[in-house]
Structure 1
Amino acid sequence: MPAVVSAGRHGAPAPTGRSQPEVMRLIESVLLPGLVAWHQSLPAVVDERRAIELARRLVGPTGTGVRELLCEHYAGHGSLHRLFTGLVEPAARRLGDLWSSDDCTESEVTIGLCRLLSELRQLDGCGSRVAGHAGRAALVVPLPGEPHMLGAALDAESLWQAGWLPQSEYPETDDALQTLVAARHYDVLCISLSPSFRRSHRLDRLAQFISRARAVSLNPNLVVVVSGRAFHEDRSAARRVGADGSSRWASRFELLH
């Protein structure tokens, strides 16, 4: 999650003085150990049939059967990581597909994601936490104006289970988020866009924000990771916005070399 990429098509900022080897050493010493320990040998196997069914239930009038599907998948795999990567995140993308095919409205997608997050919170306490990274702080936020909070919630849970100290915030403006970044020393900044929609029109703004965040951060080696459907489907998008890596799956951070 540290920052150092050259400008791309969307005007991402140039590196801020750190060499590539320095960045990779920082990533390897600060970020990877806990995350690798947590998701090692946990492949992301997507249950497409169940993800489609979950998406349809989420946009139903009452959301009937959502909890049953989540509990059934969790019971069958015994891991929140596998629940996130195998069912929850794919279902969020299927919600976007339903909207694209005019099978639901944008409001129904937002309501469905809220239902999904609410049901996941009923599973609190099921996840185990690995030791390590005492004092390592991560600021986890959606880009201001992003109404879909699921990605930020999954990132925060993944980091917590990996032994980090994530601070989840939901700033309403870019200035408010800049103030948060400047308020204390963070090792990592995780910024999410919608897990359902691609939000391509927001990438320029995200690139500008990342550049400003590095400038105001108390940590000259701040690591920036981005997540959302845009980055799940296009790995180069993370490089274009000036991030150090992307979270294509919950806790599965891909680094930009």
Structure 2
Amino acid sequence: MSRPTSQSEDFCPGKYEQATGRTTELFSVLPPEAVQSVAEEVLSRLAARDRPPGQTQVVAPSEETLVDLCRSLTSKEPDAAARIAQEALAKGATIDDLYLHYLAPAARMLGQWWTEDDLSFMQVTTATARIFAILRALDRHDRPAVPRTCRAALFATVPGETHTLGLRMAADFFRRKGWDITLELGLPHEALVDRIAAARPVLIGLSAAGAHAAPALARLIVALRMTVPVPVIAVSGQIVHEARDVVAATAPDDLITDMDEAEVILARLWDGHISRLKCDPVPRD
């Protein structure tokens, strides 16, 4: 369990503001049913979190505090919920405390209010954007170890995508260039997220053949940002041309528009990220 730290060490207001803006932008360019899918993804994935084995039980916040947190997440004040998180950190809460005893119960409570029609669709999407932004603003210190020298990546088609030839060819191309490529094709959403979470890759390449895959891509990237430690995500395929506004709003680390630039972009992403990992301080116990 992480030692208590001050809010300045573990909560980045700049990341919170950036993530809030990007998630709001994403919701503005997705159809309503896709927004609902992404909102459900965030709430259900967070609500399902449980205390890691062996972790000491802490004093949970009161029911009143959780209600205040939920109301802050849906209020007109954009920073109200973030302040609650920062105040908890300042009083000695750990990152795991915030995840397991504040945000996860709040997600369950919001889900119940939504089911009971006590929240509007707009309030749910607002709360979802703020929860996701808080998660992005927290430094969990669970970075993967610096991997071996060989460049490696996991390539996957977006769930529901049936056009796989281009990604197969890309995988073969990179393997000939000496990359260690894991290829995942045709997996449904949950199976793909579970497979990637287990593999814990540094670099993930997602591909889709057109705008039809935009909702699935948005949901997938949100899920990966919540489950994979510090992933670097690149998006390729015809979707980059047909739905560039949606793809950009999902905030991937880069976009690939043709094979000629793919190797340069992925090599830059890999080398830059590994350099940052090598320079990072050792994670705190």
TM-score normalised by L of structure 1: 0.44
**Considering only CA atoms, is the larger Rg found in Structure 1 or Structure 2?**
2
More helix by share: 2
Q: Which has the higher contact order (CA 8 A, sep 6+)?
A: 1
Relative to the length of structure 2, the TM-score reads 0.41
